């Protein structure tokens, strides 16, 4: 059966730049190189000093403000931030040292104090402090609503992307800024990249399927980010676990579905796919829902409650129980686009699957449209990288650096 696209609660991070190995060679005494917003300052002979932004007394600052830091010939050792009541604001420095990112969304029309401590090349200490005030609340009529799918405490399949969606199109000029405020942290570390599907959704996936047991922590730190003449509504966070590897492979030529668990074939089921005028889409998809029962309502055609329904396209294609087509399963296609299973087999699939499990379909008349579901695995890694709004070579360099480091694939601030 096929249904029209329904609204979805999408979830989760701009790529934090990978750690960089820094060194400097001079004819005189060695002095550490430093970076300011990604640009090397070097040893220019100027006295050791610390600079930071926003400037002291700055007003009307966005609630996405980061503390920009730089030390000429020294090393930043700590950054602390408090609100007007003296309460500490958690945060983390970006791995490239370009700024310190508060771990929570700042409050509108509030005052904050930040102190940066640094050590010079000869051990000398220096501190700089700034005080700034954030902008007024722009109001609910001036906001872009964001949604994200990663939910606290959930266990997902190895193909689960981190998905963030907006109710308003994000212009190309703002996409990089959005990505930079999206953070994904994985343990164990796995390289990942964001990809825009159209102008209203951006999805993150690792280079290969997530490893079983991976812990992922996501922060969509977009609350208050200005996009055009509007502001994104709020920060969102989520932490989840990747479960066992279960993959469903549907072969139209054989009218069967094979189930692999931890790369071992465990089940083969007869199925019936979409007939020629309503074909099932071929391609690499992901289970997006896990519904014990679902009402399939197509005006003028049918209205029926279906059991063990698991959606894999926004267009309305599911794996589900179809006792009415059991005589056709394994032989011919009679559905409206879904993958029909017997009641017993569909129950087994339901009990042994989860959101995020990969589903691949082959041999049908049509191929899945990018973005019709979580189609992050239906393209090569190089092609996936091209969908990021950040410079491609930077992403490739970052991926290589992260793969060779002992750090988490994404180091980002999160609520303590």
Q: What proportions of the chain, in percent to the nearest 5, are helix, strand and coil?
A: 10, 40, 50
Phi-psi region for residue 177, left (φ > 0), alpha (ψ -120 to 50) or beta? alpha
Determine the pLDDT at residue 310.
97
Q: Please report which helix (H) or strand (E) contains residue 174, including its range.
A: helix 172-180
Domains of the chain with CATH codes: 1-12+139-162+211-390+412-416 (2.40.440.10), 35-134 (2.60.40.3780)
Give the mean pLDDT per block of 10 residues along the chain (416 residues). Answer: 38 30 29 37 63 94 94 86 98 86 98 93 90 95 95 97 98 96 94 96 97 97 97 98 99 98 98 96 98 82 87 96 97 96 98 98 98 98 95 61 40 29
Alpha carbon 273 to its chain centroid, in Å, reads 32
CB 191 within 8 A of CB 205: no
Query: How far are the Cα atoms of 19, 147, 252, 349 from residue 390, in angstroms, in the given order?
Result: 17, 22, 39, 39
Q: Please report which helix (H) or strand (E) contains residue 220, including its range.
A: strand 215-220
In the numeric block, which tokens belong to residue 97?
A: 């040292």
Determine the pLDDT at residue 403.
41
Phi, psi of 281 (to 5 degrees): -80, 130
Residues forming the active site: 320, 338
Query: How far are the Cα atoms of 254, 313, 331, 380 from residue 276, in angstroms, in the given order?
Result: 16, 18, 14, 28
Q: Which residue carries 């179809």 as its tokens?
A: 322
Helix intervals (H) in 241-280: none
Determine the pLDDT at residue 243.
99
Determine the pLDDT at residue 45.
60
Beta bridge partners of 35: 40
Q: Which residue carries 């090569």 as its tokens?
A: 380
């Amino acid at each position: 059966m096929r249904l029209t696209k329904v609204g979805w609660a999408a979830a989760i991070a701009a790529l934090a730049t990978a750690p960089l190995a820094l060194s400097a060679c001079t004819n005189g005494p060695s002095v550490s190189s430093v970076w300011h917003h990604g640009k090397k300052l070097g040893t220019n002979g100027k006295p050791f000093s610390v600079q930071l932004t926003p400037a002291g007394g700055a007003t009307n600052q966005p609630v996405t403000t980061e503390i920009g830091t730089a030390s000429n010939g020294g090393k930043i050792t700590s950054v602390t931030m408090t609100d007007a009541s003296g309460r500490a604001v958690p945060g983390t420095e970006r791995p490239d040292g370009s700024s310190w990112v508060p771990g929570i969304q700042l409050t509108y029309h509030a005052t904050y104090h930040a102190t940066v401590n640094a050590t010079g090349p000869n051990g000398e200490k220096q501190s700089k402090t700034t005080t700034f005030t954030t902008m007024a609340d722009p109001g609910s009529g001036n906001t872009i609503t964001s949604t994200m799918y990663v939910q606290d405490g959930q266990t997902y399949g190895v193909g689960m992307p981190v998905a963030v969606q907006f109710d308003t199109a994000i212009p190309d000029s703002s996409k990089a800024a959005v990505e930079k405020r999206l953070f994904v942290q994985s343990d164990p570390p796995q390289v990942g990249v964001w990809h825009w599907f159209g102008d209203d959704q951006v999805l993150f996936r690792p280079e290969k399927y997530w490893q079983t047991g991976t812990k992922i922590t996501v922060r969509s730190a977009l609350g208050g980010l200005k996009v055009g003449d509007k502001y994104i509504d709020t920060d969102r966070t989520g932490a989840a676990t990747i479960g066992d590897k279960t993959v469903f492979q549907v072969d139209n030529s054989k009218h069967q579905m094979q189930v692999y668990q931890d790369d071992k074939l465990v089940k083969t089921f007869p199925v019936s796919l979409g007939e020629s005028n309503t074909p099932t889409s071929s391609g690499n998809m992901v289970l997006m829902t896990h519904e014990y029962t679902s009402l399939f309502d197509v005006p003028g055609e049918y209205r029926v409650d279906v059991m063990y329904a698991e959606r894999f396209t926004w267009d309305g294609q599911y794996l589900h129980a179809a006792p009415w087509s059991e005589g056709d399963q394994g032989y011919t296609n009679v559905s409206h686009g879904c993958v029909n299973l017997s009641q017993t087999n569909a129950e087994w699939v339901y009990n042994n699957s989860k959101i995020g499990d990969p589903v691949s379909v082959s041999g049908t008349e049509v191929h899945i449209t990018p973005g019709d579901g979580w189609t992050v695995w239906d393209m090569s890694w190089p092609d996936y990288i091209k969908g990021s709004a950040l410079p491609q070579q930077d992403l490739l360099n970052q991926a290589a650096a992260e793969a060779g480091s002992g750090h988490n694939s994404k180091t980002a601030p999160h609520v303590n």
